[in-house]
Structure 1
Amino acid sequence: MATVLLLLLVGLTLTVMVLGSSAYLRQQQVYTLSNHAQTQAQLKAWTGAELVRQYLQHVRQQGQWTQLMGATFPQTLTLQGEGVDGVVEAQLTAVNTTAKTVTAQIVGMTAQGSPAEARVGLEVVYALPGSGGNGEEGTGGNGGTPAQPDHRVITFSRNLKLGGSINVLQDAGAEAYEISVIGDVSTDGNSITGVKKITSTGSIRIGSGSSFDELHANCDVFIDGSVTAKTINARRNACVLGGASVPGVLRANGSAKLESGVSQNGEVYARVNPEDVGACAAPGYSPPWNSAAASTCTAPAVRGVDLSAGSAGARQVQTAGDVTLASGTVTALTAQGKLTVNSDATVAGGRVGGTVSKPNWNNKINVQVTSGLVVDVSAVAKVEVAKETFNANDVRHLANYVFFVNAAGSKKVVVRHVAGIQDGEYFLADYDSGPYKDRLCTKVTGSGSSVRCADPLPAQSITLCKGYSEYNSCFAFNSKTQTWSINGTSAAPGIAWFQGNLEVGNGVYYNTFIASSNITTAGGTSVYAPNYAGYSGRVDGVQYAPTGVCENSYFPGLSPTDLCDKAGAKYLQTGLEGLGNYAMLAGSRSDENYADLASYVGGNITLGSSAYIYGSVKAGNEFTSGGSTTVHGYVTALAQGTAAKNSMGGSTTFDLRNLPKTMDPGGGKPGTPGTGGESTDPNAQVQVQWSRYL
């Protein structure tokens, strides 16, 4: 019996071992199958992600990105490709019009209907080329926070001609303000005060009696008259003529010519090796009188430093080329080339690598000739100005009021997020009789420009603008010029978007005015950007505006809910993606091909005399001011359309003193965010910005 029991125990042990091994093998097979299925599902999901990217790339290349931004989501995509039909599902779930990103959810499947079926979910955010951002806000984009404070009070993407008096007023101790231009900067006998720095990707020509901390150009810097520039940086040549002076440092990658004496000029460095200046106008170029291009220095007579005019001199001269002197003084000189002295000049000390030519009687040239002397002059850095874009169509959906004319010629307005008015589309018309002008109504009689409100109870109807009297209309539309005009006491506060041109006449307005084409002002116009006026016009005990956006004495029952927290009595300056920082924005296009300037619509903003703008201004193309104009903010002109001429004449003042904390004049830029905006290269690729498994 003991033997039988032992055999039974051994048999039982073997049975357990066999069953255990069988179970282990089965488990490993299941694990391997599951892992393989999961891997295949992941592969399908990522294949789908690439197909979605290719689809978005196609949308961009076809110029349909704007339409996609305005589409209704979610959108289901049908993906076709080798190995994906029926095993990959994809949906576009959301877009971010600010950062220009699209979010998609992709599901990859394998072994459907079998025990090995596996599914993998993937969420991917795709970004338009050059859009930057973090998937929600782009640096410097709509409502985005700039990486550093922006002190470019004037930023133009095309040649800028300054005339009359340009004055920038700033708080004591404020950062230096700058004019930044993609192109040339020129002046026409005007004065510029309060601007410390001008940067240009072309040439700078200043002939006014102004003073600057720095002038920096990728081509020439040409100053004369009584101009003083503490620092000049020129990637080609610098010419400082007449009574102009550079008391600090002048650096030129090419050559330098100065005419002031040693007491007026500091250090002068000339590299005699200008780089990357093929796009510069020819030396000695003189533009037509009506052009905004800048004059350039004449071809250097001396390849190095030319001090041949009278008593021209400098405290220090260092050049890889030659130096010519007349009767001026140089305290310290180092030149790789030769030194030519034409009169009784003085050189206190220095070295040259070439010859010394001077009158025999001049004993004041104390230099040593060092054969083979090499002088290394550091190069001037290139000016880089970020290229930005703006399209009014991209922000239309954010507006509180969208004004347009329908096919029949009737004025209409879409109202969105305004306390006191139900969201919807309304006719903008008068009643047949009584003091009921510019009323919102849903029932009308007549057609086209003769349409009249037919809603009952006209006394309870809502108007969006107050005329000069109850019997005066405020809104008008010229069908021939496609121009809206506003003339009245004030308009309902908030973001007002207009299809076509816009002329803002007399009145005091608490709005961001956006036009798909051009904007002009006429008469005594005052526009307070919402972020400037704030909740009630009063911020931290200071009265910045006669009334506010949320508490508005003209329209006490109407307020934009995106900007006004009435329950908490707070103003929401970050609402509407930073649009509230702007008083005016103009220009649009129907696609994303910003390289096609001829297809850009409008974008020109013209401020007439006696215009007072409390907020920043962004022109999609060009900006012009004249007469007595005051802007409490920054001005940007993006040159996205055909060229005319950016100009500022008369008296233009940028008053940046004591701005309310609710306003950021250089922040919340409604355009393509990032460093340089959206890429216009048709071959630039839509990219995956981030992804995660669901």
Structure 2
Amino acid sequence: MLNNQVFRTVRLPVGGEMHKQAGFASILLILFIGLALTTLVIGMVTSVRGLQGSSLTTHAQTQAQIKSAIGYQALSEFLGPLSAAQIATINNGTINGADTVATYTAVTTDCPAEAGGTKYFCYDIKAVSGGASSIVRATYASKTTGAGSFTGSIFAGGLRKDGSATLGGDQTIAVKGDKVVDNQNDAIPESALGGLTLDVFDPNVTFLKAEDLTADANYIFYKNGTCARNNLANISYIEGGVTKYKDITSQEPVACNDISSGISGGTGNWNISGSQTLPVGVLWFEGNVNITLSSAKAFVNTIIATGNIAVNLPNPTGNTDYFSYAPNHYYLLNPNNNRLTRVCGLNNSLVSLEPRPTQYCNADGTLKDMTTSPANIANILFLSNGYLSLDSAGGRNGAEVNYYGNMLSGSLAGGTGNSSGDFRGGGTVNVYGNLVVTGAVQTSLLGNLNLQLKRGTSGGNTVPSKKVMILSGLRYM
């Protein structure tokens, strides 16, 4: 029953019947909304799962690419110090860290052919991570720079002889354009070259720079006034009041004035007195070097400079000849213990008189194989990136100047020629070894200069060469 109050609030449908479908419609509406929400939630969950999968795939691919890049770096470091012949035997391998980082396989069918003395090596470096893989193809170019072995003198910028100058000797020489020319730029017949034989000039030949040999030097002089020593055995030092000895295999700082009283200067301009006691070995200078020879004492050293080298005679010169030797040439001309002492710093009892250069001297006082690098650095007398100026004595008192060893420079000069390539004077310059002018400047023999290019001692024709391994190409496969 309905009480009066409730009855007053009840509204009966017209016609006396209630709409039975109204509640059902509401239920359907709620169901549709719920279904839509369910569908939305399921879609969002599916989308999130898809994004997670995509993220995992991207992460795996990124990790694979990182691993292949690490593999490339490791393979490059492995191949760097090897010769081309050694690299040619390496077909495949594994690069390991805590686990396998990558594998590498030599590629031959799609690798550039050898050209111009450059050999190419190609490797596919593959890494895998989480089902994803990455392959990098690296193409390496291996070439040797620095000539290495000389069969005679070279004039890369050409050679011109003035009518009054004299050129002769018994070498084979290579000259740009395959000819020596006169003042009119006409070829001088080989029969008029005083015994020299012309060879074909190779325009692709490469030459050493001073910077290539810094690590192979014994005493190093920097233009900022600091110095270092390297590649030396039997360095004495005091420890606990006892004299001990050590070897140096990397650059060790040393005061410049502790190396030799015969070397002075700084800020890129250095002076060497040939009359003073100089250290045994290879002297490397950043900047220019001026050397004054002494007729009373042979000059025996390898001098390397990033700038110019000028070799001067004292004034007056006296009537004696002057001699300069690369260390190996000094010994080869007259192999005896006294000369070996001058070259290696050891006396007859193999006791160290001064630090021994380890590039070319064995502990027992013998010389190493001078056809190998860096031992054959001892075949270099002078090497300069700039010009090499050789004093010819100008005919003073009939003195002759004699140079034994290989000399390499950007240009050749004498008198007032300097960097112009003019080699002038009035005396005789005898070169027993290879005179190599590496720059594009033509060498001009002027005045009454007499330049004689003579064969060096057998075994002294090689100089260090450097293998250069560079990346020629890198791409993802």
- The TM-score normalised by the length of structure 2 is 0.56
Q: Is the counterpart of residue 428 in structure 1 residue 276 in structure 2?
A: no
Which residue number in structure 2 is paired with residue 24 of structure 1? none
CA distance in 2 between partners of 1:629 and 1:97 (Å): 41
Change (3 A) 1:548 1:656: farther
Contact between 2:301 and 2:327, CA under 8 Å: does it hold in 1?
yes
Q: Quick one: distance in 1 between partners of 2:104 and 2:82?
A: 25
- Measured against aligned partners, the alpha-carbon deviations of 1:249-277 in whole angstroms (never above 9, x if no partner) come to xxxxxxxxxxxxxxxxxxxxxxxxxxxxx
Aligned to 1:629: 429
Distance 1:572 1:648, change over 3 A: farther
> Does the 8 Å contact 1:532/1:615 carry over to 2?
yes
Following superposition of structure 1 onto structure 2, how do residues 34-433 of structure 1 map, counting pairs within 5 Å? Answer: 84-86=65-67, 89-90=70-71, 91=74, 92-93=76-77, 95-96=80-81, 120-121=103-104, 132=118, 150-152=150-152, 154-163=153-162, 164-169=165-170, 177-183=171-177, 185-187=180-182, 204-205=187-188, 384-406=202-224, 410-420=225-235, 423=248, 424-429=251-256
* Matched residue type, 1:628: T
1:582 is displaced (CA, Å) by 1.2
Greater fraction of residues in helix? 2
2:270 aligned partner: 484
Stretches of structure 2 lacking an aligned partner (at least 5 in a row)? 1-60, 122-141, 237-245, 315-321, 394-400, 415-422
CA distance in 1, matches of 2:433, 2:362: 25
Given that 2:359 and 2:375 are in contact with CA atoms closer than 8 Å, whether structure 1 keeps it comes out as no
* Identical positions, percent: 18
Cα–Cα, structure 1 residues 528 and 209, in superposed 2: closer, same or farther, change >3 Å? closer
Paired with 1:131 and 1:619, the residues of 2 have a C-alpha distance of: 23
Q: How far 1:495 moved relative to its partner?
A: 1.5
Change (3 A) 1:129 1:606: farther
Contact 2:312 2:391 in 1 (8 A): yes
SS at structure 2 position matched to 1:639 = coil
**SS class of match (1:84):** helix
Gaps of 5+ in 1: 1-79, 170-176, 190-201, 217-381, 430-437, 440-463, 466-472, 588-602, 679-683, 689-694
Deviation at 1:210, TM superposition (A): 5.0
Equivalence for 1:549: 343
Alpha-carbon spacing, 1:108–1:476, altered in 2? closer, same or farther (3 Å): closer
Closer, same or farther: CA 491–639 of 1 in aligned 2, 3 Å: same
Query: Equivalent residue of 2:167, what SS?
Result: strand
Partner of 1:333: none
Structure 1 residue 106, shift from structure 2 partner: 8.1
Does 2:452 align with 1:656? Answer: no
Q: Is the 8 A contact 1:160 1:181 kept in 2?
A: yes
SS of match in other structure, 1:585: strand
Partner of 1:614: 404
Look up the equivalent residue of 1:514 and give its one-letter code: I
Q: Which structure's CA Rg is the greater one?
A: 2
CA distance in 2, matches of 1:655, 1:426: 40
Q: 1:502 aligns with which of 289, 294, 312?
A: 289
Call closer, same or farther: CA 1:561–1:393 in 2, change over 3 Å.
same
| Separation of aligned partners in 1, 2:62 and 2:193 | 66
TM-superposed deviation, 1:405: 3.3
- Read off the aligned partner of 1:477 and give its amino acid letter: G
Contact 1:619–1:637 (8 Å) recurs in 2: yes
1:528 aligned partner: 325
Does 2:407 align with 1:580? Answer: no
Q: Which amino acid aligns with 2:388?
A: I
Aligned residues of 2:388 and 2:413 also touching (Cα < 8 A): yes
Higher relative contact order (CA 8 A, sep 6+): 2
C-alpha deviation, 1:511, in angstroms: 1.6
1:182 and 1:143 map into 2 onto residues whose CA distance is: 16
The DSSP-based 3-state class of the residue aligned with 2:378 is: helix
Q: What is the one-letter code of the residue matched to 1:528?
A: Y
What SS does the aligned partner of 1:668 have? coil
CA distance in structure 1 between the partners assigned to 2:83 and 2:308 by the alignment: 22
The 1:501–1:605 alpha-carbon spacing in structure 2 relative to 1, beyond 3 Å, is same
Cα deviation, residue 576, structure 1: 1.3
Q: CA deviation at 1:584?
A: 0.8
Tell me if structure 2 keeps the 8 A contact 1:389–1:620.
no
SS of the aligned residue for 2:157 comes to coil
Per the TM alignment, residue 392 of structure 1 is displaced from its structure 2 partner at its CA by 1.3
Aligned to 2:438: 638
Equivalent pair of 2:373/2:464 in contact (CA under 8 Å): no
Deviation (angstroms), 1:637: 0.9
Cα RMSD over matched residues? 4.8
Q: Distance in 2 between matches of 1:633 and 1:478?
A: 31
Structure 1 pair 619/568, CA: closer, same or farther in 2 (3 Å)?
closer
CA distance in 2, matches of 1:530, 1:616: 11
Paired letter, 1:157: A
Alpha-carbon distance in structure 2 between the residues aligned to 1:389 and 1:418:
29
Q: Alignment length, in residue pairs? A: 333
Q: Report matched runs for 1:457-468 at 5 Å.
A: 464-465=259-260
Q: TM-score, normalised by structure 1?
A: 0.40
One-letter amino acid of the structure 2 residue matched with residue 668 of structure 1 = V
